[in-house]
Structure 1
Amino acid sequence: MIQEVIQRLGADIAAGLQPAETDCLAVREQIAASKPMSIAEIYEALSKAGCMDLEIARICGRTLRNVRTLSAVYRQEGIRNLVAEGRVSVSMAYQAIEDSDLTGLSALATLQAGIVMSLKKRAQRTGRAPSGGQGAASILLGEELATLGIPSIGKQDAGEPRAGLHGALSRLAQVLVRAAS
């Protein structure tokens, strides 16, 4: 049903016609009952039907920022799955995608670095040791940094996972600073 509506909307826009209000209303009702990645699928279908982001925003009754954010997250398959499972928020995923464009690191590695940093901040607030996949994040960050020619985590860091992660995060911060300037 929704696919037919999307096709009609795409055909109307391609023909230079004003989209039917009933079709727009059907899409808005579908969106109102959906989760973020389902909404992103609708945005992607409208995009494939020939609608631009601004037209999608108008049809769906959403902001252009919302359309661009969810579309960017949807196009990153690994991150899309994490958001769909509820493991990561849309805003954190989108921030990782933006940061990855600046640093050249993969969006997934940037996201993992962000998760680790948020765990460290939470640990500082609560006074408890951070839990989570710090070791996996260290390995992935080390691989990503090596592809950029930045020295990987050394053997001196191997005995202490947090020290290795700290070094990788420090190198990531240096890359971010260089990219921003």
Structure 2
Amino acid sequence: MSGLLVRLADATDFPAVARLTVAAYEADGQLKGEHGYGAVLADVSTRAASGEVLVAVDEATGAVLGSVTFVLPGTPFAELSGPGEAEFRMLAVDPAAQGRGVGAALAQACVDRAAELGCTAVVICVRAGMAVSAHRLYERLGFVRMPEKDWSPVEGVALLGLRLELPRT
């Protein structure tokens, strides 16, 4: 998407990130019976303290259109990553900006960041009932299912593990 800038979020972005992340998860039906996950999504400062919160910004208006949290193994928000792997979580696009390539730009920024850090792979988990468009995005980027990384944080929530091998440099 032209006119889109992906950058590290700063504290002035956090309210917009909190709002759009919760709105995106609600719009996708991912917060039904969620056991407090909405509060975790809205706590951007805690995520930023233990990882990198990236935002996609409309260059013309300055509006934050989406965000993602990039983490490394052993950090508080890492769920699947092991040695040499990076992980991203909580990728969310403002419902009003969906379909404009924002999610793809954020996911690609995480892949690029992992490569820059010398990681060998990127892992993510997606909710089994997540929108088909999200699953297609990850397939287009080259992520493949890793059933051994599937898990469930709470009863009724099935998360599927995906992995993208990065080229060796």
Tell me the TM-score normalized by structure 1: 0.29
Higher relative contact order (CA 8 A, sep 6+): 2
Which structure carries more strand by proportion? 2
Tell me the TM-score normalized by structure 2: 0.30
Larger radius of gyration: 1
